[in-house]
């Protein structure tokens, strides 16, 4: 794993936007695996600026998002489709037809999941997968468990994740309890992985991710065996790393 420590959230966001831009500049038709959450917001803002300045062109890019809440339509302001449109897609020159987010309203969830994986395969796989990290080590919505799933699947959210994500909803009861998420297989098959984290509250999980034992109870630790992972963190998130 390559670990890059930047001073603060803004510097981390700029650096990670540059890493993503490098991939697209090298391969204009790149397939990008994208993520939601508070962490990537400023990275996406940097990408919007870079797109306006002509430093990155999304016209041939395809994107596949990691996850979506079950039961929320793309118009719901807390759905991940809405998040992506609002925080990135509406402001860059990507063709929306080439942006994929699991359909949280799909009637046949199993079919939605298997088609999602097939689509990624047909696209030739993910060139760069962007990841945030949950406080409990979840990536996408792959929550700590005795067993992890390879494929895209429906999953229940842990109490801690529901609590952590409640800050985006009016009240905790409004947070969906289930989500569709890409599995560990989908993530691990990406050619390159970029994980970003910021702030003191991520310091413990970042130290487990980088220095802890590999365990399904901290799904992100599986990234230790991926051949091409870059982690960009700010000083606060890196504060518990030994070296």
Among 165, 182, 236, 237, binds ligand GLP (CB under 6 A): 165
Minimum Å distance from CB 26 to ligand GLP? Answer: 25
Q: Is 79 in the site for ligand GLP (CB under 6 A)?
A: no
Minimum Å distance from CB 57 to ligand GLP? Answer: 26
Dihedrals phi, psi of 175, to nearest 5 degrees = -75, 125
Residue 226 Ramachandran class (φ > 0 left, ψ -120 to 50 alpha, else beta): beta
Contacts of 219 (CB under 8 A, 6+ apart): 137, 138, 139, 142, 143, 144, 145, 148, 184
Is there a catalytic annotation at residue 136? yes
The active-site residue out of 6, 143, 153, 165 is 143
The active-site residue out of 6, 65, 68, 138 is 138
Give the contact letters, 8-47, x = binds to ligand GLP (CB under 6 A), - = no. ---------------------------xxxxx--------
Contacts of 7 (CB under 8 A, 6+ apart): 234, 235
Is there a catalytic annotation at residue 67? yes
Minimum Å distance from CB 179 to ligand GLP? Answer: 7
127 and 31 Cβ atoms separated by less than 8 Å: yes
- Nearer Cβ to ligand GLP (35/48): 35
Is there a catalytic annotation at residue 234? no
Is there a catalytic annotation at residue 211? no
Q: Is 140 in the site for ligand GLP (CB under 6 A)?
A: yes
Among 16, 142, 155, 161, binds ligand GLP (CB under 6 A): 161
The active-site residue out of 136, 149, 204, 226 is 136
**Residue number closest to ligand GLP, CB atom:** 132
Q: Which of residues 90-129 bind ligand GLP (CB under 6 A)?
A: none
**How far apart (Å, rounded) are the C-alpha atoms in residues 85 and 94?**
11
Q: Is 183 in the site for ligand GLP (CB under 6 A)?
A: no
Judged by the rule CB under 6 A, the positions of this chain that interact with ligand GLP are 35-39, 66-67, 132-134, 140-141, 161, 165
Task: Give the catalytic positions in this structure.
Answer: 67, 136, 138, 143
């Amino acid at each position: 794993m390559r670990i890059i420590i930047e001073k603060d959230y803004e510097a981390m966001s700029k650096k990670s936007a540059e890493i993503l831009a490098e991939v697209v500049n090298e391969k204009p038709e790149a397939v990008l695996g994208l993520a939601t959450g508070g962490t990537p917001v400023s990275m996406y803002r940097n990408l919007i600026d870079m797109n306006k300045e002509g430093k990155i062109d999304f016209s041939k890019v395809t994107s596949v998002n990691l996850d979506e809440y079950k039961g929320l339509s793309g118009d719901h302001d807390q759905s991940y489709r809405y998040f992506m449109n609002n925080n990135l897609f509406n402001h860059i020159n990507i063709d929306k037809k080439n942006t994929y987010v699991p359909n949280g309203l799909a009637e046949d969830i199993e079919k939605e999941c298997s088609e999602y994986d097939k689509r990624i395969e047909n696209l030739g796989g993910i060139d760069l997968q962007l990841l945030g990290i949950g406080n409990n080590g979840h990536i996408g919505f792959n929550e700590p468990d005795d067993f992890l799933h390879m494929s895209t699947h429906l999953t229940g959210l842990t109490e801690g994740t529901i609590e952590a994500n409640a800050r985006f909803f009016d009240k905790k009861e409004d947070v969906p309890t289930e989500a569709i998420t890409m599995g560990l297989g989908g993530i691990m098959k990406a050619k390159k992985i970029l994980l970003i984290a910021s702030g003191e509250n991520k310091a413990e999980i970042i130290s487990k991710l980088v220095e802890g034992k590999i365990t399904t109870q901290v799904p992100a630790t599986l990234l230790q065996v991926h051949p091409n992972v870059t982690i960009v963190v700010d000083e606060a998130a890196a504060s518990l790393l030994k070296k």
